[in-house]
Amino acid sequence: MADGKTFVLVHGSWHGGWCWRRVADRLRAKGHTVFTPTLTGVGERSHQLSKDINLDTHIADIVNVFLWEDLRDVCLVGHSYGGWPTSGALEKIGDRVSSYVVLDGFVPLDGQRGIDVTNPDMRAATLAAIERGEAGRPPPKAAFFKMNEADQAWVNSKLTPQPTGVALQPIKLTGARERVKKKLYIRAPIYHQPAFDDAYERCKADRAWKTLTTDVGHDVMVDKPDWLAQVLIEAA
Q: Label residues 96-112 b or e (16+ Cβ within 10 Å = b).
A: bbbbbbbbbbbbbeeeb
The helix/strand/coil state of 183 is strand
> Residue 51 and residue 38: Cα distance in Å, rounded?
18
**Nearest Cα to 103, choosing from 4, 211, 208?**
211
**Among residues 13, 46, 50, 80, which one is catalytic?**
80
CA angle 90, 19, 227 (to 5 degrees): 85
Question: Is 157 in the active site?
Answer: no
Enumerate the active-site residues. 80
